[in-house]
Amino acid sequence: MKMNAVVAGVGMTRFGKMLDRGLKSIGGEAVEAAIRDAGMTGADIEAAFVGNAAAGLVTGQECIRGQVVLRSAGIGKIPVINVENACASASTALHQAAAMVTAGLYDVVLAVGVEKLYHEDKRKSFAAFSGAVDVEAMAEIMARLKEGAKESSPGSSGEGAGENRSMFMDIYAAAARNHMKRYGTTVQQFAGVSAKNSFHGSLNPRAQFREALSVEDVLNAPTIAAPLTRPMCSPIGDGAAAVVVVSERKARALGLVSPVRIASMVLHSGWDHAPGEEGGAAELCAREAYDESGLGPADLSVIELHDASAPAELMAYESLGLCAKGEGGTLVDSGATRLGGPIPVNTSGGLLRKGHPVGATGIAQVVELTEQLRGDSGARQVKGAKVGLAHNGGGNIGSDAAAMCVSVLVR
């Protein structure tokens, strides 16, 4: 959708393990920071969209998640819409907020993403991901993943998916093996993604992990699901992020000069692909976002994309048109996507190092891009950044993401 919404304020917590904090505390911190950054008060917010994916399962909070979080921050009366859309929950919440402003229905809308995934019982945390596939086909999915694991690691039972790790790591591992077989991509190139993002994350005070790793460090780490080692897999985490979006009229009233604008946000779901059909939800979203914004890959200054695994980032390069199909590994090797390169990707550290509280991730990407376009990113600042792209997907059905959102921000 072509948007006409202005980012007036952003806020975000540090991502990490917060067993001693609840949704209200975590979400309230991000909400208050965004409203403060916008120079407003809670009384200025006209509506709110709150993204969350797993609170019902992990914390037991169902039905009124957004209302609970916002009431604790002193915000009531307004319409509050709860949004659940797998790992794309937050970007979907922001999509709806920006659409409402673009349509002229509200002048000031709050979008929030908040998640708690850490739990004393790790099986609860991993179960949150197991529900992001077609559960009626679970037996078939698990059988396929186990068979793939056995083929990649002779002698392995293929057990553990969804029990001692997110089953999505097995899904990404299978995609990685297919990419390696089809295009000759190497494990070293996947490790290069993780090493790059660890360097970026080492510069981000809000990142969950701040240790810089070499390619060798990544390769020598324990294997989670072959060929993925631990640093190639995004961690679970707790955290929140928030954005206040306003109309152009309100932006003028606030005296915002050269603000960050949401030019396009495109949201699609995957579909059943015909045999041999190329492309998917990410390609479709990217193509429409470029068309609507009048921009293309060559115009991008900085990208935050959904690196739930290192192979996912490499393959997203191809989906977003940064390189041709099969050339993601070469792009990694070139250093182009590292800070200082022509198209820095995941300057926040990405999901791999910043962390992945699933219901907060999409808005956290937009917080990073907004700060980059404002010139407020400190040691990880991309010089002269003017155009940012966010790519945030979630869930899996068949061979495609269940939900996908691509956004273009400009200043």
Give the list of residues 6+ apart from residue 153 with CB closer than 8 angstroms, or none.
226
Q: What is the DSSP letter of 258?
A: S
Helices (H), ranges, 305-386:
310-319, 328-334, 350-353, 361-374
Name 44's Cβ contacts closer than 8 Å, sequence gap at least 6.
35, 38, 108
Catalytically active residues, by annotation: 87, 356
* DSSP string over 65-119: HHHHHHHHTT--SS-EEEE-BTBTHHHHHHHHHHHHHHTTS-SEEEEEEEE----
Long-range Cβ pairs for the range 99-104 (8 Å, 24+): 99/1, 99/3, 99/265, 100/47, 101/4, 101/5, 101/245, 101/246, 101/247, 102/1, 102/2, 102/3, 102/4, 102/5, 104/247
- Counting Cα atoms < 13 Å in the Cβ hemisphere of 290 gives 15
CB atoms near residue 277 (< 10 Å): 10
Asked if 115 contacts 357 with a C-beta cutoff of 8 angstroms, the reply is: yes
Provide the pairing of β-strand 387-397 with 108-115: unpaired
